[in-house]
Amino acid sequence: MTLLIQASYLIAAVLFILGLKQMSSPVTARRGIVWAGAGMVLATLATFATPEILGSEQATTNIILIIIAIAIGGGYAWTSGKKVAMTDMPQMIAMYNGMGGGAAAAIAAVELLKATREAGHDLTGSATIGTTLGADVAILGILGAIIGTISFSGSIIAWAKLDGRMNRSRLLPSQHVVNAVLALVTLGFAVAIYFNADVSLIIVFFALALVLGIFITVPVGGADMPVIISLFNALTGLAVGFEGYVLGNAAMIVAGIVVGSAGSLLTQLMAKAMNRSVANVFFAGVGTGDSTAAGDGAAGVMKEIQAQDAGILMAYASQVIIIPGYGMAVAQAQHKIWELTQLLDEKGVKVKFAIHPVAGRMPGHMNVLLAEAGVPYDKIYDMEDINADFKNTTVALVIGANDVVNPSAKNDSSSPLFGMPILDAIKAENVIVIKRGRGAGFSGVENPLFFADNAKMLFGDGQKAAAELIQAVKEL
């Protein structure tokens, strides 16, 4: 039975890796999700047969509790996954990622409390958590507890910001200093519980880690949420891998390492796309209440254009590049934009889509939206592949995007966005911006592009504006 369980875990691990590989391309992503899901089902079924579950005196109770937990969690995930709007997907990802970190932390808490109880039974009084579990298991278990707990509470804050429940960050005085002191105190308690099997120390340790996760996420600006989600995903994977080692579960170890490494790589790539370090993401606060004043130097008048005129301009263009952002997701305008693209194609206009690595509220958000609308993959270009093409473009159509086309990132050293690579929409012959109002974007930084000589604003809801453009093109 042990051999069968380990073989099942090995097959599950292979399915996880193959599934992740398939997810690297939009063409095979759906297949990758199915493969990884099959691996998770196999690992779960194998866990039912482990001696700790099936061979214990409470085997029946254990199995019933597991089935109830799977039914509750799986049922909720199934129903919420069916109902969730695409615009709410980022906060759902943040929440579910936090649950993964919380689960790893819960495993650590159970193992630490069990070790505390066993150490208390040692009549010599010399037993500690470190000696009871073994140095390697204890250290990795405690590290997994810290990382998982931080990921849990930090992901909840990320969810609150993305869901609009925390619109502006209210920082404590010297917030980063407070965070540094709190981190040191938390680590101090981590060392203390290694040498002292005391339940009260464990409780305080987890409470401090929860608060630390909240405090380090609060200063992070809304514009940096995609990076934070990716980072917490990596941390959750790392915590799961550590706790897998504590439990001796090969599937958890492999899955945790794969998720942790993939999440770490994605975090670095996204930070690089913003020309910033991960540390800068945590400490700069782009999108908090402190950074909104930056970029106020943008001056001028926004020139409005009517849908009829914009439609004529696009219908007679040689090339149109469409730049989608989160506003397109909010308006659920992706289907109308694809319909507009098809009309322009019929008129001989070359249409491309330009995607910034951090467009939207999570990695790949815009790609998912466009794929859902049926946009072919060969029309979708990454930033580095299309930026040189803007100078040969008649119209750059910006819908719901702001920060990823903000020229101040290149030419205003006082801007919080300075240094972040952007889509060079301003280099197009004409720029049409579909926007609901005249306010700044999610980062709170004003965009000089909207005042540029070659830029015109098409105000209104994204879907309504796209429908008006479609009608204008049809009438030609």
> Which candidate, 106, 117, 118, places its Cα nearest to that of 247?
106
> Residue 473 contacts by C-beta under 8 Å, 6 or more apart in sequence?
311, 314, 315, 340, 343, 344, 347
Using alpha carbons, list the distances in angstroms from residue 249 to 130, 252, 279, 474. Answer: 20, 6, 33, 61
Distance, in Å, from the CA atom of 195 to the CA atom of 212, rounded to the nearest integer, reads 22
For the record, the structure tokens of 283 come out as 């400490």
CA distance 33 to 42: 14
Q: Which helix (H) or strand (E) holds 179?
A: helix 175-195
DSSP calls for 434-451: EESSSS--TT----GGGG
Fill in the DSSP letter of residue 405: G
Q: Ramachandran region of residue 439, left (φ > 0), alpha (ψ -120 to 50) or beta?
A: beta
The side-by-side arrangement of strands in the sheet containing 350-355 is: 380-382, 350-355, 319-324, 395-399, 430-435, 455-459
Distance CA 11, CA 5 (A): 10
Residues forming the active site: 403
